[in-house]
Amino acid sequence: MSSFIDSKPILVQHRPCQGWIYEAHILGWQTRVEPTPLNFVEEVKMRLEGRKVYQILGSAEPILVERTLWHIAKSEPAIVFAEHRCSTPQIFEPAPFVEKPTMKEPRF
């Protein structure tokens, strides 16, 4: 199933953040994923944050493939990982509902 443009995930330490990640090539692109598998709720959270989600495919030579809604609809059990981001906090604060200040001429 794997080809020269896909590679087996390897556990490495990411230099910028010093965290442990899985690194692999998927369709020729270097991809980094978090090493902790996700459950369904965590997968949904990652999708809402805009992060890509990957699953392991194959057992003899496992590769990572991007997980799509089609994979979820199949309802087959899978080991799922989230795309790596270097310790950047995710902020989900709604925009404040206040009026923008308007520039008025000062009255003396």
Structure tokens at 95: 């925009």
Q: Kindly report the pTM of this predicted structure.
A: 0.69
Query: So where are the chain's domains?
Result: 10-82
pLDDT in tens, 36-71: 888 888 888 998 889 999 988 877 778 888 888 887
- Residue 103 to residues 26, 44, 87, 99, 106: CA-CA distances in angstroms? 53, 43, 39, 12, 9
Cα–Cα distance for residue pair 10/31, rounded to 1 Å: 11
